Copies of this chain bind each other. A is one copy, B any other.
Amino acid sequence: MRADARRNRDRVLEAARAVFAERGASASTEEIAAKAGVGIGTVFRHFPTKEVLLEAILLDRVAKISAEARRLTTAPDPGAALLALVKHMVEQGATKRMYINALADAGLDSLGSRVGQSTVGREMVDELGALLARAQVAGAIRHDIGVTELIALVVGVSRAAEYTAWDGGVLARTLEVVIDGLRARG
């Protein structure tokens, strides 16, 4: 692969991350090309479809969550670890739309979900599942929910945040309600 090709590929990915995060998935390819400082043709040579480009970024995000979850699997307090991860995901998701779309997609098994059927996507679900199970065994988290519900809650709070012009306080309090709801009753 030629040096300029690799350089431009990276630039496009970087620009796409920024533009999608700011404008959502409906952002135009032209804007991405402009931000990357390349022609439109170059974008489409590296990523034959807008969807492919989107997918590349989503998979990257999911992989990062997955890594974070794996890191926390060995944390001393399983309950605190899970709640911290939830908090982290929501806070990331509140500012970066793509982040949360990737999550939502990964939570799906259904046809039409690319991330959900990818290896990376399944890995993340497994990782989250392990973390959740540990927290439940430790008695910190209620037993009547699974990974799907957990993902749904994170996606929900983030997605709500997407539309509202909140100050941070509202997000924090909303998240607090969800976290309290997740705790095992005792």
Interface residues of A (CB under 8 A from B): 104-105, 107-110, 142, 144-145, 148-149, 152-153, 155-161, 163-166, 170, 173-174, 176-182, 185
Min CB distance A148 to B, Å, is 5
Given contacts A142-B177, A177-B145, A177-B181, contact A160 B156 (CB under 8 A): yes
- CB of B152 within 8 A of CB of A157, answer yes
- CB of A104 within 8 A of CB of B149, answer no
- CB of A161 within 8 A of CB of B152, answer yes
Identical copies in the complex: 2
Chain B residues with CB under 8 Å of A107's CB are: 164
Min CB distance A113 to B, Å, is 8
Contacts beyond the supplied A145-B177, A153-B174, A155-B164: 18 A-B pairs with Cβ under 8 Å: A104-B163, A104-B164, A105-B163, A108-B164, A108-B165, A109-B165, A110-B165, A144-B176, A149-B174, A152-B164, A177-B181, A177-B182, A178-B178, A178-B181, A179-B181, A180-B181, A180-B185, A181-B182
What are 23 A-to-B residue pairs whose CB atoms are below 8 Å?
A104-B163, A108-B165, A142-B177, A144-B176, A145-B174, A148-B170, A149-B173, A152-B157, A152-B174, A153-B157, A153-B174, A153-B177, A155-B159, A155-B163, A155-B164, A156-B159, A156-B160, A156-B174, A159-B160, A176-B181, A179-B181, A181-B181, A181-B182
